[in-house]
Amino acid sequence: MASTPPSRLRQGLIAGLKIAVYAAVVGVVALGVAVSVAVSQLPSYAELIRRDDLGQMIRVRSADGRVIHAMGPSFGEWLSHDEIPPIMREAMVAVEDRRFRSHPGIDPIGIARGIWVGFSQGDNIRGVSTITQQLARNIFLSNDRSFARKTREGILALALEWRFSKDQILELYLNRVYFGGGAYGIDAASRRFFGHSATELSTAEAAIIAGLVKAPSNYSPTADTEAARDRAAVVLDLMVRNETITAEQAEAADPDRIEFERSDGQQNSARYFTDWVLPQLDMLIDETVHPIDVWTTIDLGMQRAADAAVNAHTPQGAQGALVALDRDGAVRAMIGGRDYVNSIYNRATQATRQPGSSFKLFVYLAALESGHRPDAVVQDAPITIAGWSPRNDNGRYVGAVPLRAAFAYSINTVAVRLAQDVGTRTVADMAQRFGITSRVNTNPSMALGTSEVRLIDMTRAYAAVARGGVGVTPYGIRRVTTADGTLLYQHEDDEERVLVQPWVAAQMTDLLQGVVEHGTGRAAALGRPTAGKTGTTTSNKDGWFIGFSSGITTGVWMGRDDNRASPGLAGGRAPARAFHDFMMRAVANRPVEPFVTEAAAPDWMIAEDEEFWFTPPEDDPLVDPDGYAIEPAPQPTFEEPRPEGPGPRKEPAPPPERRDPIDRDRTDRERTGRERIDRDWLERVIDRPPRREPPPRRLPRSDRERAPGD
């Protein structure tokens, strides 16, 4: 009897089974080929621990080497598998991949569970990435949610498991994963959140860090401390289920008792400084990949003192700024506002405001350089220029006054006269020579500080005077190195840029010292040689004080951002007091340095030419201690004696014998060792015959014979 042919259904099943087997074989072969190719293309372990692919880390360090700010990813130290605390390793495995030690890189059980949960809840497939898959995504892939990405992730995970051991994979993961707050790796996270190395992590701290991986932006202690503690409690429960710790140990951990590291106000105020220096890196170095350390000039002790001084004295509703430069231009402190969190606008480097009388520095520098001397007498009297009439703050005029007193008491009319004498263009050139980068107008009022300037530029100018006329360029970066110490940049000081002769700087220092000793800046006195100048603008909109002592030059500005008046604000008050409080701490450990107020002047400044220099009277001072004019004593008058009776009239006494000019010069030369440079000297040098002195003038006969009382 013939056999019955197989049914079509059976044939279909067999064919389908064959196709499935063939497909599986092809798939396995393809997967093996893909994994083999991936393995061959994987970087070495030494390359993976460099972490260059995570971005460039920039650490900004203070003058003493402490990190005050970090940009980009923060890595901390690379910890080997054995250096990582076991509690940290177990916590991460418990919360992220409890079958990590048994699967080949992908977890079939986890995948099936994720598919089931996704279908049962009507949601996408989730919760199926192992630690190895997360590492593959972290190193090689993006975070897009697609099937193609998941396929590549799985292939790379298998390749990683083939190439590296489980301990190596876990070490890579714990040193590379992002934990929030800019921290990559457990050591950076531990230092960022707890203030110590990851080698010292407690159970509760390890639970907090392990719980951050799921959603760093939500659970990071810098974002939400309570969310971080709640997530840590979940991790501790998972560790108990995984039999990593006991229930008693979990209860004793208590994440609620953990204190997180807080950023202090010092780091807050230092952000004005870091925002100023970091953009300068593009001009100094070319390194944009490897981690770098930026070693700066900022002194944290001075920065704290500056922050305290500005906030203590700035009027309500106003802002304050401060810049402190060392003698070579190193920025030791910078305050751009009262609170960086509320306002990141840096008023020390960006704001342009009218400097008021502090701008008179350039007027007097130009006047001294052109030949005016500190003891010369000038006139404080009304003056009108093209319809503009400046006035003094007190509304009074004192008449004849020494130049140093006019500067000490900030007499406006004298500054305007000096600017007109030397030329406003000369004053503007002097300001730009000393580092003023904003536009300086040449109107007559510019002598009183109507051109807007930056605080850092004004401080730079005063620092150049303190340096003896040598230019000062503010800088904040001392050097830049790679993480392994390779030098990329080193600052070099420039001492060759002379702005004015030393004798000009010495005389200007003398004038500035007088402001603090007995002028408008007495509130800034430090009990050691101090020099400076106040500045106040119309209606008390701006208050300035800029001065120097013991090698530190500090500029202080106060005012409102909306340019409204601040009642009672004046350069000699709040800004001078802030200068005093800051400088008392800034120079406390520095030696007292006397000022150089005398320097060799050119011969034309030293010559005592009676035809050109006016000598003030020696018997009476021109001003009283408050700077007001004192009327000179009346000069005695001499009358010819009246004849007492008839007889011949007595002739008046002959004038004193006048010496020959050549004899007079010879006598002076013998007395002083220096020839008198006057008209007689000039005529003798050019071989012109000496001039004859005119005979003494006699009164007309009618006047001599007129009777007294007529």
260: nearest Cα among 301, 214, 213, 212 = 212
Domain C-terminal end among 227, 257, 287: 257
- Domain identity same for 202 and 346: no
The verdict on residue 628 lying in a domain is no
512: nearest Cα among 549, 552, 538, 540 = 549
pLDDT tens per residue across span 11-29: 777 777 777 777 777 767 7
* Mean pLDDT value of segment 88-103: 88
- Domain identity same for 251 and 113: yes
Residue 124's pLDDT is what? 58
* Mean pLDDT value of segment 557-572: 93
651 is catalytic: no
CA 586 to chain CA centroid, nearest Å: 16
- Residue 388's pLDDT band (cuts 50, 70, 90): very high
- Residue 646's pLDDT band (cuts 50, 70, 90): very low
Residue 456's pLDDT is what? 98
- Gap between the terminal Cα atoms of the chain: 183
* Mean pLDDT value of segment 143-166: 81
Domain C-terminal end among 504, 536, 552: 552
The verdict on residue 91 lying in a domain is yes
Q: Is the pLDDT of residue 539 over 50?
A: yes
- Domain identity same for 245 and 335: no
- Domain identity same for 225 and 368: no
- Domain identity same for 250 and 380: no
Residue 634's pLDDT is what? 52
In Å, how far are 377, 393, 613, 672 from 678, measured between CA atoms?
A: 21, 41, 11, 15
Domain C-terminal end among 226, 257, 288: 257
Joined tokens for residue 312: 């203590």
- Picking from 42-56, 312-326, 385-399, 650-664, which range would have the lowest pLDDT averaged per residue? 650-664
The verdict on residue 333 lying in a domain is yes
Rounded CA separation 459/462 (Å): 5
Element (H, E) at 179: strand 178-180
- Domain identity same for 231 and 371: no
The verdict on residue 227 lying in a domain is yes
Q: Is the pLDDT of residue 703 over 50?
A: no
Contact 454, 352 (CB under 8 A): yes
Rounded CA separation 71/244 (Å): 37
Task: Tell me which DSSP letter residue 480 carries.
Answer: E
303: nearest Cα among 68, 7, 597, 41 = 68
- Domain identity same for 359 and 455: yes
Residue 31's pLDDT is what? 66
Residue of 244 and 421 predicted with greater confidence:
421
- Residue 672's pLDDT band (cuts 50, 70, 90): very low
Residue of 128 and 673 predicted with greater confidence:
128
- Residue 618's pLDDT band (cuts 50, 70, 90): very low
What residues make up the domain containing 684? 661-696
In Å, how far are 221, 400, 620, 628, 637 from 631, measured between CA atoms?
A: 74, 10, 9, 10, 18
* Mean pLDDT value of segment 67-84: 85
- Domain identity same for 117 and 233: yes
The verdict on residue 292 lying in a domain is no
Residue 125's pLDDT is what? 54
Residue 624's pLDDT is what? 46
- Residue 127's pLDDT band (cuts 50, 70, 90): low
Residue with tokens 């503690």: 229
Which residues fall within 8 angstroms of residue 675, CB to CB, at 6 or more apart?
Answer: 665, 668, 669, 681
The count of other CB atoms within 10 Å of the CB of residue 387 is: 6
Rounded CA separation 631/635 (Å): 12
Residue 675's pLDDT is what? 52
Q: Assign 297 to helix, strand or coil.
A: coil
Domains identified in the chain, total number: 3
Element (H, E) at 666: helix 661-672
Rounded CA separation 254/205 (Å): 10
Contact 543, 456 (CB under 8 A): no
The count of other CB atoms within 10 Å of the CB of residue 301 is: 17
* Mean pLDDT value of segment 87-107: 87
Rounded CA separation 334/298 (Å): 8
Element (H, E) at 379: strand 377-380
Question: If you average pLDDT over every residue of the chain, what do you get?
Answer: 82
* Mean pLDDT value of segment 70-78: 79
Q: Out of 62, 74, 220, 357, pick the active-site residue.
A: 357
Q: Is the pLDDT of residue 45 over 60?
A: yes
Residue of 463 and 136 predicted with greater confidence:
463
Residue of 495 and 100 predicted with greater confidence:
100
Residue 496's pLDDT is what? 80
Which residues fall within 8 angstroms of residue 592, CB to CB, at 6 or more apart?
Answer: 528, 529, 550
The verdict on residue 618 lying in a domain is no
Q: Is 495 exposed, middle or buried (0-12, 13-18, 19+ CB in 10 A)?
A: exposed
The verdict on residue 682 lying in a domain is yes
Residue 554's pLDDT is what? 98
Q: Is the pLDDT of residue 470 over 90?
A: yes
Residue type, 697: R
Residue 507's pLDDT is what? 96
Task: Tell me which DSSP letter residue 453 carries.
Answer: B
CATH number for the domain harbouring residue 526: 3.40.710.10
Longest dimension (CA), the chain: 196
Contact 439, 432 (CB under 8 A): no
CATH number for the domain harbouring residue 109: 1.10.3810.10
- Domain identity same for 452 and 542: yes
pTM of the model: 0.69
96 is catalytic: yes
**Strand ranges in 491-615 using DSSP code E only, listed in sequence order:** 531-536, 542-549, 552-559
Residue 565's pLDDT is what? 92
Backbone region of residue 454 per phi and psi (left: phi > 0; alpha: psi in -120 to 50; beta: other values): beta
pLDDT tens per residue across span 81-91: 999 999 999 99
Q: Is the pLDDT of residue 580 over 50?
A: yes
pLDDT tens per residue across span 416-434: 999 999 999 999 999 999 9
Q: Is the pLDDT of residue 370 over 60?
A: yes
Which residues fall within 8 angstroms of residue 123, CB to CB, at 6 or more apart?
Answer: 117
The verdict on residue 538 lying in a domain is yes
Residue 290's pLDDT is what? 78
- Picking from 181-185, 276-280, 473-477, which range would have the lowest pLDDT averaged per residue? 181-185
- Domain identity same for 430 and 519: yes
- Domain identity same for 364 and 233: no
Residue with tokens 């202090």: 264
- Picking from 107-116, 377-386, 480-489, 616-625, which range would have the lowest pLDDT averaged per residue? 616-625
Residue type, 304: R
Q: Is the pLDDT of residue 111 over 90?
A: no
The count of other CB atoms within 10 Å of the CB of residue 398 is: 23
Q: Is the pLDDT of residue 1 over 60?
A: no
Strands 331-335 and 531-536: unpaired
Give percent above pLDDT 70 in the chain: 80
Rounded CA separation 208/13 (Å): 54
Q: Out of 62, 90, 96, 171, pick the active-site residue.
A: 96
Angle at the Cα of 494 (from 590 to 300), degrees rounded to 5? Answer: 40
